[in-house]
Amino acid sequence: MFTGIITDIGEVTAVELRAHGLARLAITCGYDPDSITVGASIACSGVCLTVVARGKEGNRGWFAVEAAAETLRLTTVGSWRRGTRINLERALKIGDELGGHIVAGHADGLATVLRREDSSDTAQFTLRLPQQLARFIAPKGSVALDGVSLTVNEAAGDTFSLLIIPHTLKVTTLGLLRAGDAVNVEVDLMARYAARLMERS
């Protein structure tokens, strides 16, 4: 379980394709490798992945994860290459501050950036997401994009917009996004359950 508050930006340093469509990825980070347990979960641009190895190279820590064929197909993980920068968040611990919203790290699909409009200190993004996910997006509701907890400004049909503040642009990879880019999207867990309850009733 995560909060959508990014604590580091990692960089993919190696991608190794293995049997049965599995990929092993090495990611450098600012985390102390001694504090990372093999088997721990780390959200990598919003995708919960399991640590299978960790170590230190120079003054940077690193960890390795494995992604299954379905993860590679349904998320941006399949497009990651050496040098790709990704948002990182370690799993929530009891007693941690819940600064964003409850994020499971299970990406529901991909959203595409339609427009980016920059002002002097903010950026407004308009995105399109799959129609089946659009019903979970509501103005003033929460959504996670590449693992970042954000508040929806407007929603209409299969598009929605968000206003990103300077701090978020600086400390996450969202500042790198341009029109045409794809991002991992996870809809709000409460919205999903509310919709399910309404269907059953």
Which residues of the chain fall short of a pLDDT of 50? none
Backbone angles phi, psi at 75, to 5 degrees: -130, 180
**Residues catalogued as catalytic:** 2, 41, 48, 50, 68, 106, 151
Residue 98 domain-assigned? no
Question: 194 and 129 share a domain?
Answer: yes
Question: 86 and 116 share a domain?
Answer: no
- Going across the sheet that includes 154-156, the strands are 148-151, 142-145, 182-187, 109-118, 123-128, 159-164, 154-156
At residue 201, the pLDDT reads 64
At residue 164, the pLDDT reads 97
Q: How many domains does the chain have?
A: 2
At residue 66, the pLDDT reads 97
Q: What is the CATH number of the domain that holds 174?
A: 2.40.30.20
Domain final residue, candidates 90, 122, 143: 90
At residue 96, the pLDDT reads 85
Q: Residue 26's CB: how many other CB atoms inside 10 A?
A: 20
Residue 179 domain-assigned? yes
Question: 125 and 152 share a domain?
Answer: yes
3-class SS of residue 123? strand
Residue 56 domain-assigned? yes
Residue 96 domain-assigned? no
At residue 121, the pLDDT reads 85
At residue 199, the pLDDT reads 74
At residue 176, the pLDDT reads 96
The whole-angstrom separation of Cα 57 and Cα 12 is 14
Residue 177 domain-assigned? yes
- Strands (DSSP E) found in the chain: 8-17, 23-29, 41-44, 47-57, 60-67, 85-90, 109-118, 123-128, 142-145, 148-151, 154-156, 159-164, 182-187
At residue 59, the pLDDT reads 86
The whole-angstrom separation of Cα 4 and Cα 123 is 19
Domain range for 65 is 8-90
The whole-angstrom separation of Cα 173 and Cα 180 is 15
Question: 195 and 126 share a domain?
Answer: yes
Residue 2 domain-assigned? no
Residue 95 domain-assigned? no
At residue 190, the pLDDT reads 82
